[in-house]
Amino acid sequence: MRTLADDNTGRDARIRRGSDDGDAETAVPENFGRAIADQVLRSIGLLLKTHMRPTDLVARVAEDEFAVILRAPIAETVRLAERFRQTLMTTELVKVANGGAPGRVTASAGAAGFLPRDTADKLIERATAGLKVVKTEGRNRIVEMQPDGPVWTAARIT
């Protein structure tokens, strides 16, 4: 998940989710097949859409990546991302034929707030860098990325 902030007032924020970062992007297809993995991703998208506010824009931007654009200060954006991360972990997304479930799906996010001299590309770059930090340092958490580095905003939940 990448979280971005972008507007002229410096108060917009975007959440960008990479497969939620769907931290289990390889485990689900390997264990349950591509069809179940696709269902999981569709379910994540629907959950994300219903979880966010009516004014937020939710989009699937890659096979396993989502983006949410919202008007909010970065602290509010991180709070919403964390709330979604917690909800996702406790939500059964799909059932498989044998009655089992693909298991818990977790989310990782990089967040970036709009700064006065930012371009959209710079904002996306910073959020992407935050997501890379999360993937390197341990998944299932949110990190706010500032120009001088990460600000850890939520502890990893295992």
CATH code: domain of residue 97: 3.30.70.270
Per-residue pLDDT reduced to its tens digit, 30-59: 766 788 888 888 889 999 999 888 988 888
**Strand spans (E) along the chain:** 2-4, 12-22, 57-62, 65-71, 109-112, 142-146, 149-152
Looking at residue 47, its pLDDT comes to 92
Query: Does 24 fall in a domain?
Result: yes
Query: Is there a domain that residue 44 lies in?
Result: yes
Of the candidates 90, 107, 105, which has an alpha carbon nearest to the alpha carbon of residue 16? 107
Residue 158 lies in a domain: no
- For residue 46, which amino acid is it? L
Which whole number is the average pLDDT over 9-14?
A: 36
Does residue 68 surpass a pLDDT of 80? no
Provide the domain limits for residue 105.
Answer: 2-152
Q: Distance between CA 31 and CA 54 in Å, rounded?
A: 35
Each residue's pLDDT tens digit, 101-117: 656 788 888 888 888 88
Q: What is the mean pLDDT of the chain?
A: 76
134 in any annotated domain: yes
Does the pLDDT at position 94 exceed 80? no
Is 157 inside any structural domain? no
Summarised one tens digit per residue, pLDDT across range 138-155 is: 888 888 989 898 887 555
| Total tally of structural domains belonging to the chain | 1
Domain assignment of residue 145, yes or no: yes
Alpha helix positions (H), 91-119: none
CB-based contacts of 157, cutoff 8 Å, min separation 6: 86, 89, 106, 140, 141
pLDDT over threshold 50, residue 157: no
Can you state the angle between helices 34-51 and 74-90, rounded to 10 degrees? 130
22: left (phi over 0), alpha (psi -120 to 50) or beta: left
Q: Are 102 and 30 in contact (CB under 8 A)?
A: no
